[in-house]
Amino acid sequence: MQIAIDGPAGAGKSTIARRLADKLGFVYIDTGAMYRCITWKAIKNEVDLADAGQLTNLARDTHIEFRQGSSHQLVFCDGQDVSSAIRSHEVNAAVSKVASHPEIRRIMVRQQQHMASNNSVVMDGRDIGECVLPEAEYKFFLTASIEERARRRQAELTATGLGHELEKVKIEIEERDKSDANREVGSLKILPDSIVIDSSSMTIDDLMNLILDTIRGSGYAV
Ligand code: CDP
């Protein structure tokens, strides 16, 4: 089974996708982490983020892997644990620009489809329902008010020692959303078959129950 979860920054996609995958025994694939890895490596190697050719060579030469840690999934880029490094403000500010290059997206989408080919998956991102898993049984579009998303993201950043003022976090995610929604390929959008959920006033448990009820409602025993 394939479950796609798309939506804007800070909507709670990765929290719910991880929980859902645990509950169902599926593989969780955090596609945002993959674009973040390419961005992190490009910044480290001082690659011009507007240079599609250089970025494409770098992406072709990058090995991204998810490994299970003691409490959560870890992200490895060329054998190095970058789970925290890819969440920095620097990467946040640049990732949407890197993700806007069609050739970078083609490379990432191919890898994501390969990861999903032999497993039941929960995959979260921006273009999962449209480009990566167009045949997914469930396509959720998860959103929340900008205030709530900024508050959640600030809490996450503070927990990892990367805290920032609420207003700055809000501006950062608004800019990224605008850029993600307006690019030509793989843009963030609600699809005709998306199940839209506004989680602004929901707890994670409420959200989890709603998603599980939706899946049960179509006959799956979960
Ligand atoms: O966790 P958050 O929602 O802030 O972002 P993310 O899922 O880690 O994704 C980071 C960025 O990667 C997004 O803002 C997009 O620019 C890009 N991305 C994408 O283009 N396509 C995807 N399938 C996933 C992420």
Per-residue pLDDT band at 221 (split at 50, 70, 90) = confident
The residues that bridge with 30 in the sheet, in sequence order, are: 124
Which of 175, 184, 173, 191 shows the shortest CA–CA distance to 4?
Answer: 191
The pLDDT, as a whole number, for residue 156 is 87
Report residue 139: phi and psi, to 5°.
Answer: -125, 100
- Two tokens, residue 14: 């990765």
Measured in Å, residue 217 CA sits from the centre of ligand 1 at 30
Measured in Å, residue 13 CA sits from the centre of ligand 1 at 10
H or E element in which residue 97 lies: helix 89-99
Per-domain residue ranges of the chain: 2-215
Per-residue pLDDT band at 218 (split at 50, 70, 90) = confident
Tell which one of 95, 107, 108, 148 to mutate to probe ligand 1, the residue whose CB is within 8 A of the most ligand atoms.
95
The pLDDT, as a whole number, for residue 167 is 94
Measured in Å, residue 222 CA sits from the centre of ligand 1 at 28
Fold of 2-215: Rossmann fold (3.40.50)
CB 29 within 8 A of CB 6: no
Measured in Å, residue 11 CA sits from the centre of ligand 1 at 11
What is the rounded distance in angstroms from the CA atom of residue 215 to the CA atom of residue 222? 8
The pLDDT, as a whole number, for residue 222 is 81
Residue 84 has pLDDT above 80, yes or no: yes
Phi-psi map region of 77: left, alpha, beta (phi>0 left; psi -120 to 50 alpha)? beta
Per-residue pLDDT band at 192 (split at 50, 70, 90) = very high
The pLDDT, as a whole number, for residue 211 is 97
Tell which one of 173, 176, 191 to mutate to probe ligand 1, the residue whose CB is within 8 A of the most ligand atoms.
176
Measured in Å, residue 125 CA sits from the centre of ligand 1 at 6
**For ligand 1, which residues put their CB under 6 angstroms from it?**
9-10, 14, 31-32, 35-36, 95-96, 99, 125-128, 176, 180, 186
The pLDDT, as a whole number, for residue 157 is 86
At 42-67, the pLDDT tens digits run: 999 999 999 999 999 999 999 999 99
Measured between its terminal Cα atoms, the distance across the chain in Å is: 12
At 133-185, the pLDDT tens digits run: 999 999 999 999 999 999 999 998 888 887 789 999 999 999 999 999 999 99
The pLDDT, as a whole number, for residue 206 is 96
